[in-house]
Structure 1
Amino acid sequence: MAKKVKSRTVVVRLLSMALTGFFKVRTRPRTHRPLSLLSYDPIVKQRVLFLEQKRKKGH
């Protein structure tokens, strides 16, 4: 059997640094560095930094 080919993109979860628990889901190329984004958080009603959440092993 042939090896599985990995996708060129990966789906990541961006977590709000305002610690509200709000998150956004985006796709990024697998080879790029981790994603960060300044965007609107509706819970605190202002723009905050969103950082890519670390993946847990085994998931």
Structure 2
Amino acid sequence: MAKKAKSRIIAVRLVSMALTGYYKTFVRPRASRPLSMLKYDPVVRKKVLFLEAKRGK
């Protein structure tokens, strides 16, 4: 049997760099660069940098 084709979009987890454990989930194209954005973290009640977490196996 042929292998199943990979999806063109993937769900990624953006983790707060304030180290609060808060994260947001977004979808992005598989071919694009990793996401990073400023978003509101309700734990520290500020806008902080969110970076894409590494995917585990």
Class of the TM-score when normalised by the shorter of the 2 chains: over 0.9
TM-score with structure 1 setting the length: 0.91
Other-structure match for 1:22: 22
Q: Which runs of 4+ in 1 moved over 3 A?
A: none
Deviation at 1:55, TM superposition (A): 1.5
**Identity score, percent:** 63
Deviation at 1:28, TM superposition (A): 0.3
The alignment yields a C-alpha RMSD, in angstroms, of 0.7
Other-structure match for 2:38: 38
Deviation at 1:3, TM superposition (A): 2.0
TM-score with structure 2 setting the length: 0.94
Cα distance in 1 for partners of 2:53, 2:41 equals 16
Deviation at 1:2, TM superposition (A): 2.0
Gaps of 5+ in 2: none
SS at match of 1:34: coil
Cα distance in 2 for partners of 1:3, 1:55 equals 21
